Amino acid sequence: MKLPKSLKNGNGSRKKTATASTSEKPMKLETTATERSGQPVTIEAKIDVGFGNALYLRGEGTGLSWNQGIPLTCVDNRTWKWSAEASDKVKFKLLLNDTVWATGEDLIAAPGQRLEVSPTFS
């Protein structure tokens, strides 16, 4: 095999090259917030709320508040969905147009749980 001139020393043999020091400290991996945040919680509400209406979620845990609702996503004419990462239980209640509370007790969803509910409003 022929070596390029840049790799040969004066007598035709290979040049010795210096290598970088390997005494550098190993890289430290840090856990990001998303890795620590837990497992997904999914809430699906099965209800036809009528044209122009929407479902909202209020509660505690995973960025929820009892004072202001978060809108659920309309999947089809009778399915509404909300999903988030949770490291603890989520206590919640559904509201129609963020003003009319669903009847019944507060509901609880655990991390990793998919909960399907059929709310009623009076």
Model confidence over 3-50: pLDDT tens digits? 556 555 666 656 555 555 555 555 554 444 444 558 999 999 999 999
Give the pLDDT of residue 23: 53
What lies within 8 Å, CB to CB, of 116 at 6+ separation is 44, 45, 46
Q: Are the beta carbons of 111 and 42 closer than 8 angstroms? A: no
What lies within 8 Å, CB to CB, of 33 at 6+ separation is none
Amino acid, single-letter form, for residue 44: E
Q: What architecture is domain 39-117?
A: Sandwich (2.60)
CB-neighbour burial class of residue 115 (10 A; exposed 0-12, middle 13-18, buried 19+): middle
